[in-house]
Amino acid sequence: MPQLSADPRLNDPLPLIREKARAIRIAALKMVFAAQLGHPGGDMSVADILATLYFGVLRYDPKQPGAAWRDRFVMSKGHCTGAFYATLAEAGFFDRALLETYMGPLSRLNGHPNRNYLPGVETNTGPLGHGMPVAVGMAIAGRMDKADYRVFVVTGDGEQQEGSNWEAGMAAGHRKLSNLTLIIDRNGLQQGARVDDTNTLEPLADKWRAFGWAVEQVDGHDVAQLYDILAAPVGTREKPLCVIARTTKGRGISFMEDEVKWHHGIPNRAQYEQALKELQA
Amino acid sequence: MSLATETAGLFDCRDSFAHAIEALAEGDPRIVVVVNDSLGSSKLTGFNKRWPERTVNVGIAEQNMVGVGAGLANGGKIPFVSAAACFLTARAMEQIKADIAYSNVNVKLVGQSSGIAYGELGPTHHSIEDMAWLRLLPNLTVIVPSDPWETEAAVRAAAEIEGPVFLRISRHPVPALTRPSDARFTPGEAERLREGDDVAIISNGTMVARALAAAELLAARGVSARVVNMSTLAPLDHDAILDAARTGAVVTVEEGSVRGGLGGAVAEVLATSHPCPMRILGFPAFLPTGSVDFLLEHFGLTAAGIANAAEELLTRKAA
């Protein structure tokens, strides 16, 4: 039978979620600095979302990553592997020591996740706009089997510019896939500029409502809010759920916050040490 | 054995696909289909009638269609994602690359009405590039069956393969080929349909019957032509190609582009292992307006055209 994977401390899950979010940020920073590669801005913006999912919401057993009953998670913003791999390691899918190989020669930790290299990765992502269609397929499979697992997918906000999200969103709304939850990491920045200066998403909530989705808007760094929305049972909701999580790119590292250059900027040693000190404070 | 619709001895292989998948679905509840408003053109209306709960019509949205296939496989299903080959492969190429081949998932892609089946509708609806695009994707098995029997066998084989498969199904009518009663279809193994020592004609799909007819014409001219059905394009049967090269001349024939497809695959093997005179028959460009029969004739993809190309090639054969 499905069991809560995380630990019994989950009577009040928030302290554990906060602790794991900090661990994820620190691990991701170390990985990016060691590799001199990566996407630290988005790693920091998504860390609280991932911590809430893996240490408060998702049902899984890292020793049975293919268990039929597991909740599915799709990291559609596949470039944020610093945070994603750190999360999987914290959740016990593989040893934390493996994180030290991030993007090294022949490492299992490619710049974008590969399900054939690592347990816990459901589908290979990297090119944007791929996670949603796959997540919709997972949700349809769950429906066919009358299974009670849920499917969660995280996209970036710039990623919402990819048309495939809207193809998938239309299908999920049409099919009333209440077992599907989309979380948009709404940090407001894409690779080259502000999202809303590039190709605006607004009114984003109205768009998803128009596609037949329920929409919630939360502070994506307030794990209590995230937990309340994401852990709530589907109940009588007969629509898929879109959670627009307002976040700050580079969150937790003062000089990175809301600065577009840290999309894939790499800190020098002095910056790294300052960032580490801030995350550990 | 096949229930393909017969018209004057010719068959639409989509019927064979439909018959095979319904037979499979009877015995295996994991078999599901995904379509892009392509139930009729995929001959899946019967499947939908019998198993509406196992039919996923995503509407006209190919990227979503292919991704949904990957998600269904994640849930333990064996999805057959079936759509016109031109839209399935061109529109959703990145999904096929990342979600299917690179992820290495158990999804069967079915490109219907491939090649130039849509004739007068023109190059937007022709799918003459698909073999070139798909054969280079690692993990993906690419099968181009030649007739009703092989189509049914390929559908069954695809379901048995644990991994991604692309089936290239034609709608242009083809005859049922004559085979020994114990013939078996094995993915990755070419089929030698006619023995011959002067030249080898390697083809697949709708062109195999024409290659056999060409060999008949050549025999009347005193030329002994071997005919090889390379129905599996990936993984490629290198041994069959090297054997063919021992005749000293190789002609490839495909209902597809002359660049990068079956001819390209054979040329890669010959150029690196056993160079020999070669002709690649197919389509050289976006095609002009015309019916399927007109276009095949116009570009020399007839028994006579193939035979003439083979005979010309013989003049280049090493003494």
pLDDT tens track for A29-82: 999 999 999 999 999 999 999 999 999 999 999 999 999 999 999 999 999 999
Q: What is the pLDDT of residue A11?
A: 75
Q: What is the pLDDT of residue B8?
A: 75
Instruction: Please name the helix (run of DSSP H) or strand (run of DSSP E) that holds residue B71, with its range, or none.
Output: helix B62-74
Average pLDDT over residues A102-110: 98
> Considering CB atoms only, which of B71, B95, B98 is closest to A141?
B71
| Cβ-defined contact of A164 to B105 (cutoff 8 Å) | no
Distance to chain A for B80, nearest Cα, Å: 13
pLDDT of A5 over the 90 cut: no
Q: What is the pLDDT of residue B317?
A: 84
DSSP A155: E
Which regions in chain B score pLDDT beneath 50? Answer: 1-3
Distance to chain A for B74, nearest Cα, Å: 6
Distance to chain A for B132, nearest Cα, Å: 22
Which token pair is B271? 């150029």
Which token pair is A217? 């808007």
Q: What DSSP string runs through A210-243?
A: HTT-EEEEEETT-HHHHHHHHHS--TT--S-EEE
Q: Highest mean pLDDT: which of A4-8, A10-14, A163-167, B176-180?
A: A163-167
> Chain A residues within 8 A (CB-CB) of chain B?
68, 72, 114-116, 122-127, 129-130, 132-142, 144-145, 147, 163-164, 167-168, 170-171, 174
> Considering CB atoms only, which of B68, B79, B98 is closest to A124?
B98
pLDDT of A2 over the 70 cut: no
Residue position matching structure tokens 């280079």: B136
Q: What is the pLDDT of residue B1?
A: 41
Average pLDDT over residues A158-185: 98
What percentage of chain B exceeds 70 in pLDDT?
97
Distance to chain A for B269, nearest Cα, Å: 29
B32 contacts in chain A (CB < 8 Å): 144
Which of B74, B81, B104, B109 to mutate: most A Cβ within 10 Å?
Answer: B74
> Considering CB atoms only, which of A114, A127, A171 is closest to B64?
A171
| Cβ-defined contact of A126 to B64 (cutoff 8 Å) | no
State how far the Cα of A46 lies from the Cα of B136, in Å rounded to an integer: 35
Among the listed residues B270, B271, B224, B277, the one whose alpha carbon sits nearest the alpha carbon of residue B251? B277
For residue B246, CA distances in Å to A38, A226, B126, B250, B263 come to 52, 68, 34, 9, 17
Residue position matching structure tokens 């910056």: A271
| Cβ-defined contact of A135 to B75 (cutoff 8 Å) | no
pLDDT of A106 over the 60 cut: yes
List the strands of the sheet with B191-194, edge to edge: B191-194, B225-229, B199-203, B250-257, B278-283
Which token pair is B57? 């019509």
Instruction: List alpha helices for chain A, DSSP H.
Output: 13-35, 40-52, 81-90, 131-144, 163-174, 195-198, 204-210, 223-231, 269-280
Strand partners, A111: none
State how far the Cα of B260 lies from the Cα of A7, in Å rounded to an integer: 55
ipTM over 0.90: yes
From the CB of residue A129, how many other CB atoms can be counted at a distance below 10 Å? 25
Distance to chain A for B6, nearest Cα, Å: 36
Among the listed residues A82, A45, A74, the one whose alpha carbon sits nearest the alpha carbon of residue A134? A74
SS3 category, B102: helix
Q: What is the pLDDT of residue B2?
A: 45
Peptide bond into A203 cis (omega under 30): yes
A122 contacts in chain B (CB < 8 Å): 74
A67: nearest CA partner in chain B: B75
State how far the Cα of B219 lies from the Cα of B307, in Å rounded to an integer: 10
pLDDT tens track for B39-56: 999 999 999 999 999 999
Which of A75, A122, A130, A180 to mutate: most B Cβ within 10 Å?
Answer: A130
Distance to chain B for A249, nearest Cα, Å: 27
Instruction: List alpha helices for B92-147, DSSP H.
Output: 93-95, 130-135
State how far the Cα of B129 lies from the Cα of B114, in Å rounded to an integer: 10
Mean pLDDT of chain A: 96
- Cα end-to-end distance, chain A, whole Å: 40
B102 contacts in chain A (CB < 8 Å): 114, 124
B53: nearest CA partner in chain A: A144
B53 contacts in chain A (CB < 8 Å): 144
Which of A69, A71, A144, A177 to mutate: most B Cβ within 10 Å?
Answer: A144
Q: How confident is the model at residue A194 (pLDDT cuts 50, 70, 90)?
A: very high
pLDDT of A263 over the 90 cut: yes
State how far the Cα of A199 lies from the Cα of A161, in Å rounded to an integer: 7
